[in-house]
Structures are given as structure tokens and as C-alpha cells.
Amino acid sequence: MDYNDGMNYAAIIAGLGAFLFVLVAISLVFYLLQAYGVYKMAQKRGIPNAGLAFVPIVQCLTIGALLGETELFGKRFKAGLALLIGAIAVTFLSSVPVLGIILDIAFFVLYYIILYRIYLLYKSESAVLYTILSVIFSGIATPIIFFSLRNTEIYAATFNEYTEKNPFEN
């Protein structure tokens, strides 16, 4: 019988614990980067309750408020409310076999369309690049982009105003 086996398991568990701690710390840093960026952008625009950017899930309301009302498939809606309802639906229904997959896909398509339109409002020349980076490296790129846009002057107050200034954009 080898008494060192217990030490090996303890070392593995300690290593996994340290890895998990570092992963959670990095995730927290990226979450706070995004929350602060969204908060400053909302504050600069005079959006009420900008501090909600720091609250998980409810942050979607603030992100959507940066875009305001928008139109998709001929329907006008408030982007913040749509994102909040979508995030709640995905949170609670994503484990339902077929419905969960459909909701996940629909939510993420809506989320990235809204992000693209927000990027258009703040940095139109980089909107496509920012959206591609956000899709591919979502948890890393999106927080960095929002943080980098926090002091950027807005090009147009609403997406409709943007499309009026740029008739070839949809």
C-alpha cells in the first residue's frame, strides 16, 4: 500500500481549486470591465438607472437602453426590454430540450444585432469588426469593446437617426 496516493489527490484538488479561483477572478474582471463601460456610456447619455449595468441579467436592460427603440423584421420594440425578457427566458428555459435551443439561438441573434447597432452608433467604421470579435470572443472582446467605448462621443442618438444619416445602412 502506497501512502503517497492521498497526497497526489490532494495536490490535484488543490491545483484544480487554484485554477478555478484564477478563472473566476478573470471572469469577474471582464464582467466589471463591461459593466463599467456600459455604466459610463449610459451615464453619459443620461439613461436613468445606469447603475443597473452592474447587476447580472438586468445589465441587458441597460445595454438595450443604449440603443433605445429599434426595428427588426418590421416590428418596433425597446431593445432593453427585449434583451431582458430574452435573458430571463434563456436562463429559465434553456434546459428544455428543443425550446431551449431555439431560445438560445434567437436570443444570441437578437443580442448580436443589438450590439452591432450600438457599435454603429458609437464607432460606425469599426462596427462590423467589433461585432465579429464579439461573436467569436464574446466573454473577452465585448467587455473590452464596451470599456473602450465608454468615453466615445455618440455618432447618432438613435439607430433610426443613424439610418437617416446613412441611408445605405440597415
Q: What's the DSSP call for residue 72?
A: E
Backbone angles phi, psi at 106, to 5 degrees: -60, -45
pTM of the model: 0.82
DSSP element (H, E) containing 71: strand 69-72
Distance separating alpha carbons of residues 96 and 89, to the nearest angstrom = 11
Is 156 in contact with 169 (CB distance < 8 Å)?
A: no
Low-confidence ranges of the chain (pLDDT < 70): 1-7, 156-170
pLDDT tens, residue by residue, 121-160:
999 889 999 999 999 998 899 999 999 999 988 876 656 6
